[in-house]
Amino acid sequence: MDITFKDVSYIYQKNTPFAHQALDDISFSIPSGSFVAIIGHTGSGKSTLIQHLNGLAAPTEGEVMIGDFRITNKEKPKDMKKLRSQVGVVFQYPEHQLFEETIAKDIAFGPQNFGVADREIEKRIQEIIPMVGLSEDLLERSPFDLSGGQMRRVAIAGVLAVKPRILVLDEPTAGLDPRGQKEIMDMFYHLHQKENMTTVLVTHSMEDAVKYADHIIILNKGKKYMEGRPEEVFTQVEALNKVQLDTPEMIQFLDKFARKFKREIPFQKQTSDQLAKEIQQVLRGVESP
């Protein structure tokens, strides 16, 4: 499903003394099947933006299109429930939303609400459990007996069980240890490719953004500040530093390398072993000018 924002503004508590403009004239379009990272500081409008993706918020001005669903200030899709079954949102710390007696029941809660038949839910749970890295013998246990990382996997399984076409992830790895972070992100990336989903990742991690996303949107104070492919956006070091955002560590290193050796190695999302080879070539090149 394509996602299009056209001149979208959102004002909290409009026409009151507490009015606060969270989004300011934002336009972009994300083609179906993209992996988009949305980056910005706390308060930049990221969370408000993702609430527009499944109709939790409607724009104060402008228009949001999610596939064929059109959301404006005046017009809400007739079938909001259908929109929500197609846009799965993994909120921050989703394990706080677990509530059922057993893990199986908790995962089933979402699809049941969308009227999926019990047998189909059963089948989906069998598929999803290994996908999120849980084991089947946990299904009848209470979700509250699990570790934090496992609880998060259960919560994610609940979103996936609805089989959304768009997956929205709001800092899905916050608070996990490095191995847990990598496992969860690799799982989302695998799913993204396998199911050809559109994935929207809200993150503070430039490393994740550059590793997984094919498109970057940077927000600053409610406005779209930059947009483009990772290698285009992240190499604009000055513009990023201006809004106090860092660049991925490899870009910082390449910048320092260029200054010390007077030789530029362009950033092309290369892996560390590729970069090592490029550095080797520079060192050799200096040896025999």
Partner 1 sequence: MKKKLIEFRNVSFRYTDEGPWVLKNVSFDIYDNEWVAIIGHNGSGKSTIAKLMNGLLFPQEGEILIDGQAVNEETVWNIRRDVGMVFQNPDNQFVGTTVQDDVAFGMENRGFPREVMVHRIRKSLHAVGMEDYLLAEPYRLSGGQKQRVAIAGVLAISPHVLILDEATSMLDPRGRLEIMDTVQSIQKEHDLSLITITHDLNEVVQAERVIVMNKGEIWREATPKEIFSESAALRKIGLDVPFTTIMADELRKCQIPIENEPLNHEELLEELWTLHSKM
Nearest residue (CB) to partner 1, 115 versus 289? 289
Nearest residue (CB) to partner 1, 137 versus 273? 273
Nearest residue (CB) to partner 1, 45 versus 67? 45
In the complex, what is the shortest distance from the CB of residue 59 to partner 1, in angstroms, rounded to a whole number?
26
- H-type alpha helices, 234-271: 237-242, 249-261
Judge contact between 7 and 19, C-beta under 8 A: no
Half-sphere exposure of 125 (CA within 13 A, CB side): 27
Tell me how far apart the alpha carbons of residues 43 and 25 are, in angstroms, rounded to a whole number.
16
Nearest residue (CB) to partner 1, 13 versus 272? 272
In the complex, what is the shortest distance from the CB of residue 93 to partner 1, in angstroms, rounded to a whole number?
9
119 contact partners, CB below 8 Å, separation of at least 6: none
Nearest residue (CB) to partner 1, 56 versus 283? 283
Nearest residue (CB) to partner 1, 54 versus 150? 150
Nearest residue (CB) to partner 1, 40 versus 59? 40
In the complex, what is the shortest distance from the CB of residue 26 to partner 1, in angstroms, rounded to a whole number?
21
Determine whether 213 is exposed, middle or buried from the number of CB atoms within 10 Å of its CB (0-12, 13-18, 19+).
buried
Judge contact between 50 and 170, C-beta under 8 A: yes
Residues that bind partner 1 (CB under 8 A): 41-42, 147-149, 174-180, 204, 244, 246, 249-250, 252-253, 256-257, 260-261, 272-273, 275-277, 279-280, 283-284, 286-287
227 contact partners, CB below 8 Å, separation of at least 6: 28, 215, 216, 217, 218, 233
In the complex, what is the shortest distance from the CB of residue 284 to partner 1, in angstroms, rounded to a whole number?
8
Half-sphere exposure of 55 (CA within 13 A, CB side): 21
In the complex, what is the shortest distance from the CB of residue 47 to partner 1, in angstroms, rounded to a whole number?
13
In the complex, what is the shortest distance from the CB of residue 192 to partner 1, in angstroms, rounded to a whole number?
23
Half-sphere exposure of 14 (CA within 13 A, CB side): 11
In the complex, what is the shortest distance from the CB of residue 265 to partner 1, in angstroms, rounded to a whole number?
12
SS3 117: coil
